[in-house]
Amino acid sequence: MSSARLPHLTAKLQGFGTTIFAEMTALAQRHGAVNLGQGFPDFDGPEFVKRAAIAAIEGGKNQYARSHGIPELNLAIAEHQKRFYDLAYDPEAEITVMHGATEVIASTMLALLDVGDEVVLFEPFYDSYLATIALAGATPKVVTLRAPGFDFDPAALAAAITPRTKLLVLNSPHNPSGKVFSPAELEVVAQLCIAHDLIAVTDEVYEHLVFDGRHVPLASLPGMRERTIVISSTGKTFSFTGWKIGWACAPAPFTRALRACHQFVTFCNGTPFQYAMAQALATGDEFYDGFVREYRARRDRLCDGLASVGLEPLVPAGTYFVCTDIRPLGFDDDMALCRGLPEHVGVAAIPNSAFYLDKAAGRHLVRWAFCKTDAVLDAGIARLRDNLRKNLARLHGART
């Protein structure tokens, strides 16, 4: 979010001009920095998935897909939800394929929110939530997850709910904190949704990146399936973020509303990629187990490296992000530090305050991504080791 006013842009979107990711990536490119800011892998996903997409292209699967998804993919998503979570969805009436989770988030907000409706969500938040709530003319009510545990106060969550609240958004595993909401926390959220008749919107794009135990969808708690819109995508799980295959699983009345919006936003997404992802989702447990095992090793590699340079990591339970507290290095302004890092240290990261309305709650935190090859992680750590302490004075100067 930037504060500069952009001409032509609607009043609803003023302040959402340039994302922090674009700003930090531009800085990384200008200074040739190792980019540990951007949240996508610097390697490709499995060969068999690539070959499936190529086969679909060569096999003539190149025209518009059915708006709510090719039958094979809707079925594969239904089987995935049953296999991993024992959640049953009708592939035809309750599953909608869209253009990544990003479109599902936007279509959900635009389809369900009227002007004046309220949405309860946690901060730090994924940046598209606030922008799409604003596009819908609705109002966000934000509850803070407080570091180091990123815990929330159940009373604060209850107090954020008013008679105008329509949706509650939950992202677990959570970007940027790496938090996985505990069973007790999910229970608190579920009880409030039921008591206040709220619709839960769950962003589960990191569902296969839980390092201990298994992901638990909020929809799997008693009384929640019927009031939850489950959002996920294949970008993170199969390391093809550019293919943008996402979906919503939701009871038919919600699904009908989402589809009414989706048909006018993108109508459908890439047909050959849908065929490839139908095969990918059905792949064996060894893929999913290996995926999380490799990411656990990357997490440990980056966390150890950060700790070795004095950036104590808040070790994440899920996702491919880790946050560090910058105060032990004498910093209290994440934005200033991250603006100086590419030039003075040769590494880029993301300032957490970008994900908060209450900037003070996040300005001592910086987010690092470990969805990178070992060579890139090692290069980033080496630069931190060589340059961070040496250039502390310059970094402090970058503040002004």
Ligand X SMILES: Cc1ncc(COP(=O)(O)O)c(C=O)c1O
Size of interface with ligand X, in residues (CB under 6 A): 14
The residue type at 104: V
Dihedral sign, CA of 328, 330, 333, 334?
A: negative
Rule CB under 6 A: is residue 270 a binding residue for ligand X?
A: no
SS3 content of the chain, % helix, strand, coil (to 5): 45, 15, 40
CB-nearer residue toward ligand X: 97 or 101? 101
State in angstroms the smallest separation of the CB of 375 from ligand X: 23
Binding flags for ligand X, 343-362, as an x/- string (CB under 6 A)? --------------------
- Using CB positions, name the residue nearest to ligand X: 100
State in angstroms the smallest separation of the CB of 381 from ligand X: 23
Which of 203, 207, 334, 343 is close enough to bind ligand X by CB under 6 A?
Answer: 203
Site for ligand X in 362-381 (CB under 6 A): none
Rule CB under 6 A: is residue 279 a binding residue for ligand X?
A: no
Binding flags for ligand X, 123-162, as an x/- string (CB under 6 A)? ---x------------------------------------
Q: CA–CA distance from 149 to each of 46, 119, 278 (Å)?
A: 34, 24, 37
Cβ neighbourhood burial of 40 (10 Å; 0-12, 13-18, 19+): middle
Which of 23, 33, 36, 39 is close enough to bind ligand X by CB under 6 A?
Answer: 39
CB-nearer residue toward ligand X: 157 or 248? 248
Backbone region of residue 369 per phi and psi (left: phi > 0; alpha: psi in -120 to 50; beta: other values): beta
Rule CB under 6 A: is residue 342 a binding residue for ligand X?
A: no
Radius of gyration of the chain (CA): 21
In sequence order, the 6+-apart residues with CB closer than 8 A to the CB of 80 are: 281, 282
Which of 35, 175, 220, 352 is close enough to bind ligand X by CB under 6 A?
Answer: 175
In sequence order, the 6+-apart residues with CB closer than 8 A to the CB of 333 are: 363, 399
State in angstroms the smallest separation of the CB of 103 from ligand X: 7
Rule CB under 6 A: is residue 246 a binding residue for ligand X?
A: yes
Site for ligand X in 90-119 (CB under 6 A): 100-102
Q: Contact region for ligand X (CB under 6 A) — 86-94, 150-158, 238-246, 391-399?
A: 238-246
- What is the number of alpha carbons within 13 Å of residue 40 lying toward its C-beta? 13
What dihedral angle (degrees, nearest 10) is formed by the CA atoms of 215, 217, 218, 220? -120
State in angstroms the smallest separation of the CB of 246 from ligand X: 4
φ and ψ at residue 122, rounded to 5 degrees: -95, 145
CB 276 within 8 A of CB 58: no
State in angstroms the smallest separation of the CB of 100 from ligand X: 3
CB-nearer residue toward ligand X: 175 or 387? 175
Rule CB under 6 A: is residue 241 a binding residue for ligand X?
A: yes
Distance CA 297, CA 289 (A): 13
Q: Which residue has the tokens 């402090």?
A: 396
Rule CB under 6 A: is residue 41 a binding residue for ligand X?
A: no
CB-nearer residue toward ligand X: 89 or 122? 122
* Binding positions for ligand X, rule: CB under 6 A: 39, 100-102, 126, 171, 175, 203, 205, 233, 235, 241, 244, 246
